[in-house]
Amino acid sequence: MTEHTLITLTLAVLITSIAAIEIRAMRTTSFAYLLHSIFLCAIIITYAILNDNDSLYLWAGTCFLTKVLLIPWLLFRFVKNVPPIEHKPIIGFALSVALLTLLMVVLFSLFRKVIILMAPTAAAQQEPVRSLLAGACTIFCLGLWGLLTRRDVVKTVIGLALLENGVHLVLLALAPQLKETTMIGILTNVVAVVFLLLYLSTQIYHVFGTTDSARLSELKR
C-alpha cells in the first residue's frame, strides 16, 4: 500500500509541476507550487515509513518549513504587488501546455527505462524507487523548461525551485542517510536565492513597471 502511495504522490508532484509552470494567474501558480511542495513532503514521509528511517522525518520537517511555508509566503507576498497575470511567455500558452505535457510523459517513460540500465543501486532498479527517480529527473527537466521558456520572474523562481526539488528527490532516493545538516544547508541556500531574486524583481517592478526577468540586465544602469 505504501509503495502505491509513493508512486501516486510522484505523479502528483509531476502534475503540479506542470500547473505551477503553465498557469498564468500569479496567485494560482503560487498555490500550485504550494501543493507541489506539500506532495513533496508527503513523499519524504512515505519514504520514511517505507524504509523505517526515522531520520527522514526531520528532513520532511525542514522541507515543510522551507518549501511549504517560507518560499510560498515569499511568492504570495510578492505577487500581491505585481500584475495578476504573468508576463507574456516565449511560447504561447496552449502550445506550451501541450509540449510540456508531452515532454513529461516522454521523459518519465524514458527515465524509467534508462534507470534500469544505469541505476547505481539495486534498490533503484525496483519499484517504487525506480518511479521516484524517474519522477525526480523529469521534475528537474520541467524546471529547466520553465527557466528557458518563461520570462516572468515568478516563473523563473518556480523553475529554479523545481530544479532543486528534482535534485531533492534524487538525494532522497539514492542517499536517504544523508546528514540532516547537509540537507538543511541546501534548503537554506535555495530560500536565500529565492529571496534575493524576488527582492531584485521588486526593484525591477518599481523602476520599469514590469516583472519581465529580461530587464534584470538593465538594473546595472
Give tens-digit pLDDT for 29-67: 999 999 999 999 999 999 888 888 888 888 888 889 889
CB 176 within 8 A of CB 56: yes
Helices (H), the chain: 2-22, 26-51, 55-63, 71-79, 93-118, 129-149, 153-174, 180-208
pLDDT digits (tens, 9 = 90+) for 157-194: 899 889 989 988 888 888 766 666 556 666 667 777 78
pLDDT at res. 150 = 84
Question: 90-108 burial by CB neighbour count: b if 16+ within 10 A, else e?
Answer: eeeeeebbeebeeebeebb
Domain membership of residue 60 as a residue range: 2-220
**Domain tally for the chain?**
1
pLDDT at residue 104, rounded to an integer = 92
Mean pLDDT of 8-19: 93
% the chain with pLDDT above 90: 25
The torsion region of residue 126 among left (phi > 0), alpha (psi -120 to 50) and beta comes to beta
Enumerate the β-bridge partners of residue 85.
25
Give the Cβ contact number of residue 25 at 10 Å: 13
The chain-wide mean pLDDT, for the chain, equals 83
Position 196 scores a pLDDT of 76
pTM for the predicted model, two decimal places: 0.86
Task: Assess whether pLDDT exceeds 70 at residue 107.
Answer: yes
Confidence category of residue 121, pLDDT binned at 50, 70, 90? low
The CA distance from 40 to 63, in Å, is 8
**CB–CB of 151/89 below 8 Å?**
yes
Residue 12 pLDDT class (50, 70, 90 cuts):
very high
Nearest to 164 by CA among 42, 18, 37: 37
Nearest C-alpha neighbor of 115 from the set 70, 177, 170: 170
